[in-house]
Amino acid sequence: MHIHRYEKIWLIFGIAMLVVFLAVLGIGTFARGAEPPGGHRHAVDPETVDQSAPFNDPGLKKIGDNEYEATMLAFAFGYSPEKMEIPVGATVHFNITSKDVVHGFQIPGTNVNMMVVPGEINHLTYKFTKAGEFLVLCNEYCGVAHEMMQTRIIVK
Ligand code: CUA
């Protein structure tokens, strides 16, 4: 009765896989719940994020003396808004999230570089001390048009 023995092995194997799967899920949930060291993130629903404030109206908002809040949305394959004008010397608090997959947010020539994770509001603060045009690039591979994904920040 070899068939019977194989069935038993497969049954044990199946249960073992289920246990492993549940353990991985459990660890995953735990890891998501834990605050990353030095990070500052908030949970958000990527499906509806572009319909609810503040992500329904992305852009620059003045919050203080030459201090701004930049609400941005990353998606395959671009950023919203497409272009932003920032006064020289402004401190900008970026709040950015993704509507779909993981994107990047990097401004070459500065230390601005972060991952844009869907389901989370990713924060970063930067002071634009010199005038010029800055390109914001996606540095996380996100699909066929990843190379084209960019937006501009004009500091003047
Ligand atoms: Cu978005 Cu690469």
The CATH number linked to 139 is 2.60.40.420
Does residue 45 sit in the same domain as residue 28? no
Q: So what's the ipTM on this one?
A: 0.98
Does residue 99 sit in the same domain as residue 22? no
Identify how many contiguous H helices and E strands the chain contains and give both numbers.
1, 11
23 token code pair:
């353990």
Domain count, the chain: 2
pTM of the model: 0.72
Does residue 65 sit in the same domain as residue 102? yes
Q: Strands 83-86, 150-155: parallel, antiparallel or unpaired by DSSP?
A: parallel
> Looking at ligand 1, which residue's alpha carbon is closest to its atom 1?
103
- CA of 149, closest atom in ligand 1: 1
Q: Are 115 and 140 in contact (CB under 8 A)?
A: yes
Cα gap 22→17, rounded to integer Å = 9
Q: Are 114 and 74 in contact (CB under 8 A)?
A: no
Give the residue with greater pLDDT, 105 vs 44.
105
pLDDT on residue 38? 44
Does residue 10 sit in the same domain as residue 71? no
Does ligand 1 come within 6 angstroms of the Cβ of 142? yes
Q: Identify the band that residue 3 occupies on the pLDDT scale cut at 50, 70 and 90.
A: low
Closest CA to 113 of 130, 126, 101, 100: 126
Cα gap 138→149, rounded to integer Å = 6
Does residue 24 sit in the same domain as residue 78? no
Does residue 140 sit in the same domain as residue 117? yes
Q: Does the annotation mark 105 as catalytic?
A: no
Does residue 10 sit in the same domain as residue 84? no
- Rounded to the nearest angstrom, the distance between the alpha carbon of 36 and the centre of ligand 1 is 22
Annotated catalytic residue within 21, 55, 75, 128: 75
Does ligand 1 come within 6 angstroms of the Cβ of 146? yes
pLDDT on residue 114? 96
Mind listing the pLDDT tens digit for each residue in 50-61? 898 899 999 999
Mind listing the pLDDT tens digit for each residue in 52-96? 889 999 999 999 999 999 999 999 999 999 999 999 999 999 999
What sections of the chain are H helices per DSSP? 2-33
Give the residue with greater pLDDT, 10 vs 105.
105
Mind listing the pLDDT tens digit for each residue in 26-57? 666 655 555 454 455 678 899 899 898 899 99
Q: Identify the band that residue 9 occupies on the pLDDT scale cut at 50, 70 and 90.
A: confident
Cα gap 45→98, rounded to integer Å = 10
Does residue 149 sit in the same domain as residue 106? yes
pLDDT on residue 37? 46
Does residue 82 sit in the same domain as residue 9? no
Q: What is the mean pLDDT of residues 105-110?
A: 95
Does residue 30 sit in the same domain as residue 48? no
Does residue 48 sit in the same domain as residue 123? yes
Q: Does the annotation mark 128 as catalytic?
A: no
Question: Which range of residues forms the domain containing residue 5?
Answer: 1-34
Does residue 45 sit in the same domain as residue 22? no
